Amino acid sequence: MEIYLDNAATTRAYESVCQIMVKTMRQDYGNPSALHMKGVEAEHYVKNARQYIARTLKIGEKELIFTSGGTESNNMAIIGGAMANCRAGKHLITTGIEHASVYNPMMYLESQGYEVTYLPVDSTGTVRLDALEKAIREDTILVSVMCVNNEIGTIQPLDKIGRLIKEKNPKTLFHVDAIQGFGKMRLWPSKLGIDLLSASGHKLHGPKGVGFLYIKDRVKVHPLILGGGQQKDMRSGTENVPGIAGFGQAVEEVFENLEEKLDQLYSLRDYFIQRVCELDGVVINGFTHRQEGFFGPAPHIVSVSFADIRAEVLLHALEEKKIYVSSGSACSSNHPAISGTLKAIGVEKKYLDATLRFSFSFDTTQKDIDDCIDALKSIVPVLRRFTPGGRR
């Protein structure tokens, strides 16, 4: 029996998601741009998904652009947003703990003559609001801050960030990478001052290869993909109907009784932390307990450092027992390096290469956690005996 605790990397698609995707590939397979009935049937799935997602965000349906996933959404928001607003300035702001799909577009824009300010964070991974206030200038055209850090699970205080940005410079766009946050909390862009918001289907039991970008009405974004003019000329190309239909189905299912599901997930997170701290030489990175208000830990991610053990060795030892976890961001697994997030929050040097990420879903059970802890209790002491200078 396998235990999957790498849900921040991807989640297993719901059965209902698989069913609707098969139907759109085998039965209602028309091109949504076609004028005949087959095209109308396909367009119906896109429209339904748009309605479901817009309803959860309390936005207009026309403010959603479907993409190939979170990376494209982030690139479109940052590069497209910068290109469309460059006459107002060329200064951008982000944090030092962003995902590569934000960090690399920022680096690209720097090579094109833009200036980027990288904000520091505190020991919990929360952005320093005083630094943000000082950084916003008259020529600041965009601020990009992730909703939930993909490595340690910190929720940023988006309400305070959005308010601060608009008070300092109302023309500055506020982009939120909500790839880890969408489906793990209620996100209402208009209430939080968000102009652009990215999300991805496979993080909440939907399919891979599909995402969306919310673009607030009248916000200028330059399209990055040109062609037949689909989606209001903002993202040309035939819509991925199976992916969009599956994404919409996942959203509908996830957001039903969401608060109850989140309470269960937080309880599971608390239980995991309690159990894993039964081991010696363990450190929890970021927030340990749920906070009041719009910040604190996300319900599905826990970052744990194990003294005197290399993370990759422990990861593969757990894998041998069919327990699957991560040593960092799955999107950066082909380019292993010491986590910039762990460095930014001041994790001790000895723990930088000794940290695993455990991430849960609505399918995770208490038994999964108990079995994982039992495995850790048997593996960790053995590995430490074989680590030079390790505990004996």
Residue 64 DSSP symbol: E
For residue 259, give both structure tokens: 């608060």
Q: Facing residues of 284 across strands? A: 304
Residue 277 known to be catalytic: no
Choice among 18, 147, 331, 372 that is catalytic: 331
Distance CA 239, CA 279 (A): 49
Which single residue is written with the structure tokens 């909440």? 204
Give the angle 337-343-347 at the CA atoms, nearest 5°.
Answer: 115
- DSSP H helices in 88-240: 100-111, 129-135, 158-168, 189-192
State the DSSP H helix or E strand holding residue 249, giving kind and residue range, or none if neither: helix 241-254
| 3-class state of residue 29 by DSSP | coil
- Cβ neighbours of 337 (radius 10 Å): 7
* Maximum pairwise Cα distance, the chain: 73
For residue 232, give both structure tokens: 């209001």
- Cβ neighbours of 68 (radius 10 Å): 17
Q: Are 123 and 345 in contact (CB under 8 A)?
A: yes
Report the catalytic residues.
331
